[in-house]
Amino acid sequence: AASQALGRAVTQAMQSLAMVGGRFAAELRPLEEPGAGGLEEVAFEVAAHSSLPLRPLAKVASGGELSRISLAIQLVAAKQSPIGTLVFDEVDSGIGGAVAETVGRSLKKLGRERQVLCVTHLPQVAAQAEEQWSVSKSGAAGSKRGRLSSAVTRLDRAGRIEELARMLGGTEITATTRKHAAE
């Protein structure tokens, strides 16, 4: 019963993550020998479109689909979890544009219930954050000592606009890019 409820809930969450018609199922397969993990193994199956059959998640999901399905599972699981902080490392890989904005809004919604930390390179996702931090690396792995250091900086409004403009525009940031970032 729980696996069917999970399948329905994740399927519903997928609809809001630009996977309209997609389906998710958590299949329980009996084990020949019961073990410490129970009597069954769990297999996740997915169909990215309503016309496709359910197949093993690892075999059929593209990078972008896998990111969104992972987020859908987290959105559902978070409702039942006492965990106060969720960390997403590039959950938006393989997507862009309107889908990235949808993912950003979903993360923002989740952030209303608990702390969400998200590593992203997409301005559509970063713009949805309540706070934004910039992480930069310096040094080179091939240098004498092979030292690499990271710097983490909390961005104020002006810093956020500049960082979003950089994410939008690349190497050359123009007044137009800054205007789009501020918007």
Element (H, E) at 148: strand 148-154
| pLDDT given for residue 156 in this prediction | 97
Q: What pLDDT, on the 0 to 100 scale, is given for residue 123?
A: 93
Chunked mean pLDDT (size 10), the chain, 183 residues: 93 89 93 88 91 90 82 86 85 82 90 90 93 88 72 95 91 91 92
Element (H, E) at 70: helix 63-78
Query: What does the pLDDT read at residue 142?
Result: 59
pLDDT at residue 16 in the model:
84
What is the model's pLDDT at position 139?
Answer: 81
pLDDT at 145: 66
Q: What share of the chain is helix, strand, coil (3-state, %, to 5)?
A: 40, 25, 35
Nearest to 68 by CA among 43, 96, 109, 42: 96
CB 90 within 8 A of CB 121: yes
d(CA 62, CA 68): 10
